[in-house]
């Protein structure tokens, strides 16, 4: 089980790379359960978890593809979200669901910005590659404990 475990460099490294590569102030490896979003790795955010009902990742984890919100203020799903109307003032969100073999989705690798933005096809390919790295690390972590 990965929930509520201490930070690990293998996940922190991917979050740092994602933030640098995309030039965003916030990048997260989040794990989502029934009630919350817990952050296994985080750049640019001090909290360790949020309630699932206000998390963007709670929406992304149920999708097959990356959830991209170019401007949360104009998206009906998120415009009145406290993470948009207050700190950290999310405008842009891109969340790539983390799917394990067998299809179980356990969380997301996500990018967050305080300004609207877009991702092009190349950006989505990079995000998909980073997502695969996170899944490999999750699977490798399980093997390390066996």
pLDDT in tens, the chain (146 residues): 687 788 899 999 999 999 999 999 999 999 998 899 999 999 999 998 998 999 999 999 999 899 999 999 999 999 999 999 999 999 999 999 999 999 899 999 999 999 999 999 999 999 999 999 999 999 986 555 54
- Angle formed at CA 133 by CA 129 and CA 137, multiple of 5 degrees: 170
State the pTM of this model: 0.92
> Would you give the DSSP letter of residue 88?
T
- pLDDT, residue 5, reads 82
Give me the CATH code for the 9-140 domain, please. Answer: 3.30.450.40
* Range 87-113 burial, b when 16+ CB lie within 10 A, else e: ebebbbbbbbbbbeeeeeebbbbbbbb
- pLDDT, residue 146, reads 45
- pLDDT, residue 69, reads 98
Contact 112, 66 (CB under 8 A): no
Which among 33, 30, 42, 45 has a CA at the least distance from the CA of 90?
Answer: 45
Q: Is 77 exposed, middle or buried (0-12, 13-18, 19+ CB in 10 A)?
A: exposed
Contact 138, 19 (CB under 8 A): no
> Would you give the DSSP letter of residue 27?
E
Sign of CA dihedral 71, 72, 77, 79: negative
Question: Domain extents for the chain?
Answer: 9-140
């Amino acid at each position: 089980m990965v929930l509520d475990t201490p930070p690990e460099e293998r996940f922190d490294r991917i979050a740092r790379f994602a933030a640098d590569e995309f030039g965003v102030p916030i990048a997260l490896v989040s794990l989502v359960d029934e009630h919350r979003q817990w952050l296994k790795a985080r750049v640019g955010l001090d909290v360790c978890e949020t309630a699932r009902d206000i998390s963007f990742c709670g929406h992304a984890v149920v999708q097959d593809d990356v959830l991209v919100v170019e401007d949360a203020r104009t998206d009906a799903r998120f415009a009145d979200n406290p993470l948009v109307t207050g700190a950290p003032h999310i405008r842009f969100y891109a969340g790539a669901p983390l799917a394990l073999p067998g299809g179980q989705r356990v969380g997301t690798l996500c990018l967050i910005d305080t300004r609207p933005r877009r991702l092009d096809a190349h950006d989505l390919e990079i995000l998909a590659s980073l997502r695969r790295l996170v899944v490999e690390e999750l699977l490798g972590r399980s093997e390390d404990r066996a």
